Structure 1
Amino acid sequence: MRSVRFILLGALVFLSCNTGFPQETKPYDVKEHYTKQEVGIVMRDGVKLHTTIYSPKDTTKEYPILMQRTPYSSKPYGKDKFRSKVGPNEFLMKEGNIVVYQDVRGRWMSEGVYDNMRAYIPNKKGKQFDEASDTYDTIDWLVKNVANTNGRVGIWGISYPGFYSTYSLLDSHPALKAVSPQACIGDFFFDDFHHNGAYLLSYWRVTALFGHEKTKPVSEPWYKFTELPSKDQYQFFLDAGPLQNLDKYYKEDNVFWTQLKEHPNYDEFWQKRGIIQHLKKIKPAVMVVGGLFDAEDLYGPFETYENIEKKSDNYNIMVFGPWSHGDWARTKKRQAVGNVYFGDDLSRDFQKNVETTFFNHFLKGEANGKTGLPEIQIFDTGKKEWNSFESWPPATVEKKIFYLSEDDALSDKTGTGYSEFTSDPKKPVPYSEDVKMVFTPRKYMTDDQRFAARRPDVLVFETSDLTEDVTLSGEVLAKLKVATTGTDADWIIKLVDVYPDDATDTQETQDHLKMSNYHMMVRSEVMRGRFRNDFSKPEPFIANKKTDVNIKLQDIHHTFKKGHKIQIQVQSTWFPLIDLNPQTFVPNIFKADPSDFTKQTHKVYHDSTVEFSVLK
């Protein structure tokens, strides 16, 4: 009997170690496994950039270097202060890599002057510098001065560090072998602060982060976020009135606020800060990562992958999951965006099986491109499953056109006449029914749109219940034919998945909602009407004249399942996600007066179309 007890005890110990029984595990201590040094690396013009280097204590091996360049601080500062985690994920951290963080020029402990989205300089001479040269000079120093390195370097980053990751591909150092731009900014006139010329008012508070310059290295914030008198952002911005009234919060010392106001159009200032157009003849391996519900940087990742694919002959793959901004770097078990749940361990699985595989292959392995990873790995946000393709958009898609027809129908037959609505800047359509003050918006990307569909200033066009699954893969292009009684207007298009009545709630469903008849926003976009023909040359509408306005929505991969409906919503305000259009043409909306804001009637003609890419 005693031996049986020992056998059972042994079996339980084995099971607890191997099959998920609760067990005590010691948290990973970076300080126990890594040494840390802080250095100032001198750039070609003499400016020193603060750089923190974490090296594995096991010096019997050689390691590649994984680097991130950031404007958000390489904290904590001090040789005895360590990050709780280093590297892109815990798997790469625990297996051992030399991990480097650098404050970019003009930020935190680095010297120099910061330039928001610093322009790239081709064919640099002498001491000319940009972020590409700063990256090159840093890598050159690291491979020559850091011990126990195998001479290979990888770079990763999310959001702004994703932009610096993309930048490293230009004039790249020979030691740079693998780069993963993630949620990477591609162009500030289409990412983050602008969408097709409309100013993202919801990012206004972030202006403090980028607009205040410093004169010397600092280890503590030199900027301060604005304290606002309300917790209701809709009411705060409505009460604030025209954008010029926000000047009292940001004075001339906020360089970025001044730049936004002085450059309302896509002029040379913004054009030269774009990085997409420079992605040619790229040599390092690239893995672009993005979230299909990233409210901040969705344009950048798609454009980065597509431009490299067209203009280079390197290893170049793309991963898009059902994530909001940076979700893939987190470890939350249940992956959801707002009310919509997509599955368990999606981020952890990406980190372990995709991200780690990519970097290990090119930095520790054969580096021959045979990673076993698909060219395109993208999540079907309707079926809630991963799919793989050899190209993007998939080779098997075909274009299908739907009309915004009579009787609120989304139809394959053109209609006659028009639908109209009155747009009042004093009563704009909210982008969310949540009452709160957000730093940057995220959840709205999958929010229930019933509240909007029930407003008289939102037009709704939808199919009948689908009799079979319909998978849309790639871009959505709306070709509106409109007219307005005013001389300017914004046009917002939303693609919505209308759930059936028997849809069940999940633990993410907000208390005041039901998933029955849920109107899930799949994709949305705005076009500031003045830019309908040219982003650099705004022009007014001619009142009451039928006019074409085309709106490209960012790519999707979503199955509208049998029993669901495909819905399109059209509106002209989306507040305070974007600022209010006066609906009277003025040269610069940042300087519009209260009297410029007028109520207008807008028409959408029934020969307007939405073009989908349908997966066969």
Structure 2
Amino acid sequence: MHQQALLAAVIATAAASIPAMAASPDAGDIPAHFVRPIEQNDYIRREVMVPMRDGVKLYTVIVIPKAAHRAPMVLTRTPYDAHDEAASSNSPLMSEALWPADREMVDAGFIRVYQDVRGKFRSEGTYEMTRPPIGPLNTSKTDDTTDAWDTTDWLVKNVPQSNGRVGMIGSSYEGWTVVMALLHPHPALRAAVPESPMVDTWMGDDSFHYGAFRIKNLDFLAYETEAKTNGSGVPRRQYDDYSTFLAAGPVAEYARRAGFGQLPWWNKMLAHPAYDAFWQAQALDRLIAERPSDVPTLWEQGMWDQEDMWGANHSFAALKAAGHESNNWLVIGPWAHSQVNRTGYSLGPFQWRGDTSEQFRAEMVLPFFKHYLEDGPDHALSRVTFYDPSLNRWDHLADWPLAQSTTPLYLTADNGLSFDPPSQSGSDRYVSDPSKPVPFEPRPVNLRDRDTWRTWLVNDQRFVDGRPDVLTYQTPVLTTPVKLAGAPVADIVESISGSDADVVVKLIDVLPGENPVQPKLGGYQLSIATDILRGRYRKSFSHPEPIPAGVSQHYRFTLPNVDYTFKPGHRIMVQIQSTLFPLYDRNPQTFVANPYDIKNSDYRTATITVMHTPQEASAVWLPVVK
């Protein structure tokens, strides 16, 4: 055969052996619907719409180990997208497919459940930010308490691989949903772990601290309420938020220009600047103390939680005061907000003994759940487990606080601190200028930078020490240890030249000047407790009033819980200032009836005089363990 004819015959034969293509030439290379085989998976993933009592259906993802039989279920209700939370990756292994924080529960064979709260992402219904409980602020017949009840009821009836017991866990807003479930828990809810829960956003969680508005909350508000999915946040013209918000003027005007008038929750906040019935009726630490549940509850808090410092601390205290300490436990670790769901080897430059977050999940949460959801061995948790960062160890405590804040540490002359009251009259003064506020972290400040945001509470405070508008007081070098275990109380006596001002107090551990292992920690000024009080609320959070110019006033407020040992060779320091910007909005230092109606002309400098006399003694009252 001729060579060309032979080649043609070979090609024709090969072409005949290729099966005909089913698709047309214009179909392209992307199938209409790709289905990934799941036979290799060691879990079953169910996506269901769970009906609520009013007919609204909530998107729910149920992830079940294939080997599950009479397994407990752990539920998280979230505004952050249940679909994504239940799909960290497309791994065929359940331990890899879910978030790393779930690994301990997955390894224990638990069924994991995630649900979009009403009105968010794939759930039906209308979304309201931290929707108030049924009552004066919610006249419907549903809330997140009933939604949790209905979800739990559906799960125990429709997941045959379960043992009919449910636990709940979640951090931040998700922690809030856990606490809401506790107001009227389903009988199958046998254990709860609210982590860093939003409980009272006016008093000390996301939105305010003692009346001072947190500018950082603008991004969260936009992210949560601009859209059913995720909003885009607040636009910036420059990287440095210090410059951005300083140039922007009053925060309400800035929000107006960013379109916040379209956001109902923002408008509610504008209408309720003080701690009135609107805020009080949804303060969950009060509500759970009024109607405490019998559900065993493990409260978690970070000692340096930069977002929700109030929730777990005050919920545990309120339940204890109501006589319901016996089924409640508290864990406070050396963590930033929600760090228990990441690694916990360190925070900023400070390193701990092992992964403290994993220790919490594996040695506290898992035994807690196994005991109450599977009749496992006693979890053996102490009533309070608190990490002392100075001694780098967990303290296992039978009670909390170990000490009341009855030991005053007085401000004295020459910028001193003493456990003895001042023997002579004295005062210190500074000028607080709203056009030059004290930054809360070294500039440039970017509130969207997660790394710097998580660690600002442990920043070295030398970056402001020496500013003329920051007063610094310290003890001599300690010769014996001073152990604190409780909540310090600031009691600062000031007079001001204006009619309003903020008071910021930081309790600081000053490390020795040299550190051969970590040289940069030499002389480090570590704040162990920081907070702010808006002066107009010094007498009443619900009924603000102007500050009389030139008249000494007491500014008394509780700082966050600490379990901390000041070692010999260290010093105790207190810093006092009037601004923490741009974390908190600037006080105009002029009393304005509604602080959201501030004009640029209202901002004025004020002379702040801090008293330390026998008659007017400023102090921080410490919970010293004797």
TM-score by length of 2: 0.87
Q: Is the 8 A contact 2:218 2:234 kept in 1?
A: no
Aligned to 2:115: 102
Letter in 2 for 1:316: N
Q: CA deviation at 1:278?
A: 1.4
Aligned to 2:220: 206
Work out which of the residue numbers 580, 588, 592 in structure 2 matches 1:586.
Answer: 592
Work out which of the residue numbers 65, 77, 80 in structure 1 matches 2:73.
Answer: 65
Shift in alpha-carbon separation, 1:107–1:177, aligned structure 2, 3 A: same
Aligned to 1:422: 431
Aligned to 1:611: 621
Shift in alpha-carbon separation, 1:107–1:474, aligned structure 2, 3 A: same
Aligned to 2:399: 391
Work out which of the residue numbers 419, 428, 441 in structure 2 matches 1:412.
Answer: 419
Q: Which runs of 4+ in 1 moved over 6 A?
A: 77-83, 122-127
Shift in alpha-carbon separation, 1:505–1:152, aligned structure 2, 3 A: same
Aligned to 1:480: 492
Aligned to 1:12: none
Correspondence 1:535-614 to 2 at 5 A: 535-606=541-612, 607-614=617-624
Shift in alpha-carbon separation, 1:244–1:121, aligned structure 2, 3 A: closer
Shift in alpha-carbon separation, 1:93–1:502, aligned structure 2, 3 A: same
Correspondence 1:476-515 to 2 at 5 A: 476-504=488-516, 506=518, 514-515=520-521
Q: Is the 8 A contact 1:474 1:555 kept in 2?
A: yes
Q: For the residues of structure 2 that align with 1:351 and 1:30, how far apart are their CA atoms? A: 30
Aligned to 1:252: 261
Task: Render the CA deviation track for 1:367-422: whole Å, top value 9, x for unaligned.
Answer: 8xx3212111100021111111101002x667211111111011123332211110
Shift in alpha-carbon separation, 1:450–1:31, aligned structure 2, 3 A: farther
Work out which of the residue numbers 447, 462, 467 in structure 2 matches 1:438.
Answer: 447
Shift in alpha-carbon separation, 1:241–1:529, aligned structure 2, 3 A: same
Work out which of the residue numbers 303, 309, 331 in structure 1 matches 2:314.
Answer: 303
Q: For the residues of structure 1 that align with 2:278 and 2:127, how far apart are their CA atoms? A: 16
Q: Is the 8 A contact 1:504 1:515 kept in 2?
A: no
CA RMSD of aligned residues (A): 2.3
Q: For the residues of structure 2 that align with 1:212 and 1:31, how far apart are their CA atoms? A: 40
Q: For the residues of structure 1 that align with 2:193 and 2:434, how far apart are their CA atoms? A: 42
Is 1:402 paired with 2:409? yes
Aligned to 1:44: 53
Work out which of the residue numbers 349, 352, 355 in structure 2 matches 1:345.
Answer: 355
When structure 1 is superposed on structure 2, of 425-434 and 526-535 the one drifting more is: 425-434
Aligned to 2:9: none
Q: For the residues of structure 2 that align with 1:92 and 1:30, how far apart are their CA atoms? A: 22
Q: For the residues of structure 1 that align with 2:231 and 2:157, how far apart are their CA atoms? A: 36
Shift in alpha-carbon separation, 1:275–1:398, aligned structure 2, 3 A: closer
Task: Render the CA deviation track for 1:425-475: whole Å, top value 9, x for unaligned.
Answer: 011111111424122632111111112111011111110000011111101
| SS of match in other structure, 1:69 | strand
Q: For the residues of structure 1 that align with 2:39 and 2:481, how far apart are their CA atoms? A: 48
When structure 1 is superposed on structure 2, of 161-170 and 117-126 the one drifting more is: 117-126
Structure 2 residues without counterparts, runs of 5 or longer: 1-37
| SS of match in other structure, 1:245 | helix
Q: For the residues of structure 1 that align with 2:405 and 2:488, how far apart are their CA atoms? A: 12
> Percent of pairs identical after alignment?
34
Q: Is the 8 A contact 2:411 2:618 kept in 1?
A: yes
Is 1:194 paired with 2:208? yes
In our comparison, the structure showing a higher alpha carbon Rg is: 2
Q: Is the 8 A contact 1:169 1:284 kept in 2?
A: yes
Q: Is the 8 A contact 1:183 1:301 kept in 2?
A: yes
When structure 1 is superposed on structure 2, of 596-605 and 304-313 the one drifting more is: 304-313
Q: Is the 8 A contact 2:90 2:97 kept in 1?
A: no
Q: Is the 8 A contact 1:87 1:93 kept in 2?
A: no
Letter in 2 for 1:399: T
Q: For the residues of structure 2 that align with 1:492 and 1:393, how far apart are their CA atoms? A: 24
Q: For the residues of structure 2 that align with 1:113 and 1:325, how far apart are their CA atoms? A: 28
When structure 1 is superposed on structure 2, of 198-207 and 166-175 the one drifting more is: 198-207
Q: For the residues of structure 1 that align with 2:85 and 2:599, how far apart are their CA atoms? A: 47
When structure 1 is superposed on structure 2, of 35-44 and 266-275 the one drifting more is: 266-275
Q: For the residues of structure 2 that align with 1:487 and 1:125, how far apart are their CA atoms? A: 37
Q: Is the 8 A contact 2:491 2:554 kept in 1?
A: yes
Shift in alpha-carbon separation, 1:225–1:446, aligned structure 2, 3 A: same
Is 1:463 paired with 2:475? yes
TM-score by length of 1: 0.88
Aligned to 1:26: none
| SS of match in other structure, 1:343 | coil
Q: For the residues of structure 1 that align with 2:86 and 2:112, how far apart are their CA atoms? A: 16
| SS of match in other structure, 1:576 | coil
Aligned to 1:18: none
Aligned to 1:24: none
Aligned to 1:13: none
Shift in alpha-carbon separation, 1:45–1:31, aligned structure 2, 3 A: farther
Correspondence 1:66-105 to 2 at 5 A: 66-76=74-84, 84-85=97-98, 88-105=101-118
When structure 1 is superposed on structure 2, of 592-601 and 266-275 the one drifting more is: 266-275
Q: CA deviation at 1:314?
A: 4.7
Q: For the residues of structure 1 that align with 2:539 and 2:137, how far apart are their CA atoms? A: 34
Q: Is the 8 A contact 2:495 2:608 kept in 1?
A: yes
Aligned to 1:114: 127
Q: CA deviation at 1:505?
A: 5.5
When structure 1 is superposed on structure 2, of 259-268 and 560-569 the one drifting more is: 259-268
Task: Render the CA deviation track for 1:212-249: whole Å, top value 9, x for unaligned.
Answer: 254xxxxxx35222331111111111111111331111
Aligned to 1:293: 304
Q: CA deviation at 1:86?
A: 5.4
Work out which of the residue numbers 353, 358, 367 in structure 2 matches 1:357.
Answer: 367
Shift in alpha-carbon separation, 1:126–1:592, aligned structure 2, 3 A: closer
Letter in 2 for 1:357: P
Letter in 2 for 1:268: A
Is 1:184 paired with 2:191? no
Letter in 2 for 1:542: P
Q: For the residues of structure 2 that align with 1:303 and 1:458, how far apart are their CA atoms? A: 30
Q: Is the 8 A contact 1:165 1:181 kept in 2?
A: yes
Q: For the residues of structure 2 that align with 1:485 and 1:31, how far apart are their CA atoms? A: 73
Shift in alpha-carbon separation, 1:126–1:117, aligned structure 2, 3 A: closer
Aligned to 1:5: none
Q: CA deviation at 1:277?
A: 1.1
